[in-house]
Amino acid sequence: MLRLTPILLALAYGIVMYRISIWRTHKELDAKSTELADPRLKSLTDRLAASLDLARIPVFIYEIDPVNGLAAPDGRIFITRGFYRKYQSGEVSAEELASVIAHELGHVALGHAKRRMIDFSGQNALRTALMMVLGRYIPFVGAWIANMLTTLLAARLSRGDEYEADEYAAALLTKSGIGVEPQKSLFLKLEALTQERAGMAPAWLMSHPKTEERIAALDRLQGKWAGR
């Protein structure tokens, strides 16, 4: 039992830290966001809502510059001010921004926030266990290897969530009559919009799949739906 104590403590620590992170996130979002009021976007989110048998889908503007969309742990959907400016300037269409909202709805509907809490806590416990085992046989380097392995696991799980949210969004966009093409076209713009560069990190360390892989997954999905 004593040997398991550090692992159990790491598991508990992961749960506590995740809860603190959620609290801080909610506090930040409450202080720096307002509900989006854009007639064109509302007409599209109303179509998404109708497809889900919902009265409406509130979307909030998070007042930060980086281009991003996010689903809060409480289920609220946010678009950053930086992303909304890209839409206002014509760099992103209303349909493309609606595809982001559909993607974030996917994270909510599929319970990814709750899954992240379990994953985060489990990864923390796994890291501790690996450090105990590897540290015994490979001093100093063992801790680095343990961190690398848990980072790889976290990245793979995150990419899995992104593919699932993409698929959910594709189905919702198709059902609402918006279609999947805006989703694909936005993927092609994302690197430039977020000022990221391909090749900055190995694919197996990235939290999001590569653009071409996400588009290819959507193509396969459409082919499946078409019976091809």
Query: How many domains does the chain fold into?
Result: 1
pLDDT of residue 29: 87
Helix axes 112-137, 94-109, angle to 10 degrees: 70
Task: Decide: helix, strand or coil at residue 177.
Answer: coil
Question: For the residues 25-42, what does the mean pLDDT come to?
Answer: 90
pLDDT of residue 202: 47
pLDDT of 95-109, one tens digit each?
999 999 999 999 999
- Domain residues for the domain of 54 are 5-225
pLDDT of 75-89, one tens digit each?
899 999 999 999 999
How far apart are the C-alpha atoms of 1 and 28, rounded to whole Å? 40
pLDDT of residue 198: 44
Phi, psi of 70 (to 5 degrees): -155, 155
Cβ proximity of 197 and 191 under 8 Å: yes
